[in-house]
Amino acid sequence: MDFAPPYARRGLEHDPQWYRRAVFYEVMVRSFADTNSDGIGDIPGLISKLDYLEWLGVDALWLPPFYSSPLLDGGYDVANFMTVLPEFGTIDDFQELVSQAHARNMRIVMDLPLNHTSDQHHWFQESRTNPSGPYGDYYVWSDTDEIRQHIRIIFSDTEDSNWAFDSERRQFYFHRFFSHQPDLNYHNPAVHSEMHDIARFWLGMGVDGFRLDAIPYLYESDEGTGESEPETHEFLRTFRSFLDTEFPGRVLIAEANQWPSETAEYLGTEETPECHMAFDFPIMPRIFYALRSQQAEPLQMVLAETVDIPPGTAWGVFLRNHDELTLEMVSEEERQALYGWYAYDPRMRVNVGIRRRLAPLLDNSRQELQLAHALLLSLPGSPFLYYGDEIGMGDNIWLEDRDSSRTPMQWSPDRNAGFSDADPGKLYLPVVQSLAFHYSSSNVETQLAQGTSLLHWVRNLIHLRKEHPVFGVGPLTVVSSDNPSVVAFVRDMPIEECKPGESPETLLCVYSFAHQPLSVTLSLPESFRANRVTEITGGGRFPSPNEQGQLVLTLPPQSFYWLSLAGIKASVA
């Protein structure tokens, strides 16, 4: 079949900035659905579930690596960038996925781990056996492991050095992650052209963009920290201009677990752009902090510190993903509190984080799950959901490392939760059978049959968000409140962002983290003193702010309101 770009892209609505309004869904091919009964999810399985994802309201999929790999790091240890892991399917299957997704106006973003490869990659095998050959300089080799000792170790639970000795080449190689993942040498231009070729290969099949894995670590130097070094940004600017020239409209998403101002640098500037999106790491742990402390301040502070980002760029917000809930971006005090609340069993921890899923973290509390999702869907940027969280799936902390939250998707109460027909012992990981989250009750089919399920609730909220594009593109203004358990902000749609047929809109979002009912007085800035306040899920009329802009509200425990503010001009006049 001819999958040249025009065909593969058929079905997609034209919107060069689609990613600013999109709802993303992260799904690992391995974990979603198995069609050939080998116990491993595959691309045809994912294709068979596109209707479900479309129903849920998903606009774009983020697929973690599905390249050939020994799978010692969930596929982030790539052995060949131009092939699909045979257990997952073929290149033809992948092209079919792209075209089936596009036919539903759904985009596909795939992971591109640029920083390192598996030690099984033929580049590395040749580099270690033939130092003067064409691949000799593809990795970071050194005669001594005494240099760059100050560069921090990321996988602190498994690694005690960023160097490993290769007995064949009799030199040390640098690795920022597992020792079976040697870092590529970005000082070698040949590595750049390899990466451009790999990107071209997938973009040619119609892929809509890449999540750039572990992007801060591309370059390291003897003096620097090995994070966000200037050449890394230079590489990104070049990569972006290659993309804009050869594949306009495709996007780059930065995975940079850094403070907001440093992360924002990965978006570049208007004149010298880098990525279109970057994940917002600091906001996420503060949501979890607020839920237990009932204190809104840390979240409010991080929101108020909004870093200006270039026009046309966006944050990616998330509650959970395939990694641990990282606690690198909080203070030591907050970290200890978060460990105490959410990782009271040492098995729940890994590296600097917590290896649990959303629903178990929140003790399966429906209120907390709703509050967390409401925040996710209303914070500035585009939300990234993690597969299974829409049904409140559980985890399995008895599995190793981050596999605890990468277990098979639970589709039905049938054998293997409907994920696979294989002998249960053959599954790549067992399905969750814990008391509170057993797949016999926690699954898509059961929740579809129940109108009040979390799945229906999440779906409704996603669809509601999509009716209000201000959530995607409107700037945020924090609104001050007199209650320490409340966070409130306004999202306001500038007229320039409106597409034909859309009109500007102003929404007031109010969240109570208190475990009891409360009342709060909000002080609305002059420009938001509406004379008509309406709740957007049911259209109910709320009190309007007084002349001074004070708005008094009462909220049930752990709840939220999304209120539309109208008639603003009249009240100011």
Contacting ligand GLC (CB under 6 A), which of 67, 76, 318, 411?
Answer: 76
Relative to beta strand 251-254, strand 506-512 is unpaired
The interface partner of residue 214, options being ligand GLC, Ca ion, none and the CB cut-off 5 to 8 Å by kind, is ligand GLC
Please tell me whether residue 562 adopts helix, strand or coil conformation.
Answer: strand
**183 near Ca ion, rule: CB under 5 A:** no
Least distance in Å: CB of 65 to Ca ion?
Answer: 17
Give the β-pairing of 60-63 and 107-113. parallel
Active site residue 274: no
Joined together, the tokens standing for residue 324 give: 């641990």
Q: Which of 365, 364, 366, 345 is nearest to 355 (CA)?
A: 345
The binder of 25, among ligand GLC, Ca ion, none, by C-beta within 5 to 8 A per type, is none
Q: Pick from 39, 57, 113, 408: which binds ligand GLC (CB under 6 A)?
A: 113
The item of Ca ion, ligand GLC, none sharing an interface with residue 80, based on CB under 5 to 8 Å by kind, is none
Contacts with ligand GLC in 302-361 (CB under 6 A)?
322-323
Residue 278 contacts which entry, Ca ion, ligand GLC, none (Cβ below 5-8 A, type-dependent): none
Q: What is the DSSP letter of 379?
A: S
Q: Restricting to residues 36-65, name those near Ca ion by CB under 5 A.
A: 36, 38, 40, 42
Given 42, 77, 119, 255, the catalytic residue: 255
Partner that binds at residue 76, options Ca ion, ligand GLC, none, CB closer than 5 to 8 Å by kind: ligand GLC
40 binds, among ligand GLC, Ca ion, none (CB under 5 to 8 A by kind): Ca ion
C-beta nearest to ligand GLC: residue = 76
Residue of 159, 213, 280, 395 with catalytic role: 213
119 is a site residue for Ca ion (CB under 5 A): no
In whole angstroms, give the CA distance from residue 410 to residue 438: 9
- Give the 3-state secondary structure of residue 511: strand
Total binding residues for Ca ion by CB under 5 A? 5
User: Pattern 222-241, binding to ligand GLC, x per CB under 6 A?
Assistant: --------------------
Q: How many CA atoms lie within 13 A of 570 on its CB side?
A: 7
Residue number with CB closer to Ca ion (420 or 443): 420
Q: Would you say 138 or 177 has its CB closer to ligand GLC?
A: 177
Residue 42 interacts, among Ca ion, ligand GLC, none and using kind-specific CB cut-offs from 5 to 8 Å, with Ca ion
Site for ligand GLC in 195-224 (CB under 6 A): 213-214
Decide whether 25 or 471 has the Cβ nearer to ligand GLC.
Answer: 25
Q: Which residues have C-beta within 8 Å of that of residue 426, sequence separation ≥ 6?
A: 38, 39, 420
Shortest CB 476 distance to ligand GLC, Å: 27
Pick the stretch among 69-77, 165-173, 501-509, 510-518 that binds ligand GLC (CB under 6 A): 69-77
> Crossing angle of helices 283-293/332-342, nearest 10°?
60
Taking CB under 6 A as the binding criterion, the range among 73-81, 422-430, 484-492, 493-501 that sits at the site for ligand GLC is 73-81
E-assigned strand segments in 311-352: 314-318, 325-326, 349-350
Q: Pick from 12, 27, 34, 66: which binds Ca ion (CB under 5 A)?
A: 34
Whole-angstrom distance, CA of residue 415 vs CA of residue 422: 9
SS (H, E, C) 425-491: HHCCCCCCCCCCCCCCCCCHHHHHCCCCCHHHHHHHHHHHHHHCCHHHHCCEEEEEECCCCEEEEEE
* 170-173 CB contacts, 8 Å cutoff, 24+ apart: 171/131, 171/141, 171/142, 171/143, 172/141, 172/142, 172/143, 172/144, 172/145, 173/128, 173/139, 173/140, 173/141, 173/142
Among 26, 59, 73, 208, which residue sits at the site for ligand GLC (rule: CB under 6 A)?
Answer: 73
Cβ pair 367, 557 in contact under 8 A: yes
In terms of CB distance, is 322 or 349 closer to ligand GLC?
322
Report the alpha-carbon distance of residue 76 to residue 118 in Å, rounded: 8
Residue 34 interacts with which of ligand GLC, Ca ion, none, CB < 5 to 8 Å by class: Ca ion
Q: Name 208's Cβ contacts closer than 8 Å, sequence gap at least 6.
A: 60, 107, 108, 109, 249, 250, 251
Nearer to ligand GLC, 79 or 508 (CB): 79
Find tokens 């752009």 and name the residue: 273
**Cα separation, 224 vs 150, whole angstroms:** 9
Task: Record the tokens describing residue 261, joined without a space.
Answer: 């101002």
User: Interface with ligand GLC by CB under 6 A: which range of 72-80, 237-245, 441-449, 536-544?
Assistant: 72-80
Looking at 27-35, 71-79, 90-98, 557-565, which segment touches ligand GLC (CB under 6 A)?
71-79
In the residue annotation, 213 being an active-site residue is answered as yes
231 binds, among Ca ion, ligand GLC, none (CB under 5 to 8 A by kind): none
Report in angstroms how near the CB of residue 36 gets to Ca ion at its nearest.
4
113 bridge partner residues: 213
Tell me if 177 contacts ligand GLC by CB under 6 A.
Answer: yes
**Element containing residue 19 per DSSP (H, E):** none
Strands 532-535 and 559-566, sheet pairing: antiparallel
Token pair 């050869």 in the structure block, residue: 246
The nearest distance, CB 220 to Ca ion, in angstroms, is: 38
Q: How far apart are the first and last CA of the chain?
A: 63
Number of chain residues interacting with ligand GLC (CB under 6 A): 9
Q: Which is nearer to ligand GLC, 76 or 419 (CB)?
A: 76
**Near ligand GLC in 137-176, by CB under 6 A:** none
The catalytic residue positions are 213, 255
Query: What residues line the site for ligand GLC (CB under 6 A)?
Result: 73-74, 76, 113, 177, 213-214, 322-323
Query: What residues line the site for Ca ion (CB under 5 A)?
Result: 34, 36, 38, 40, 42
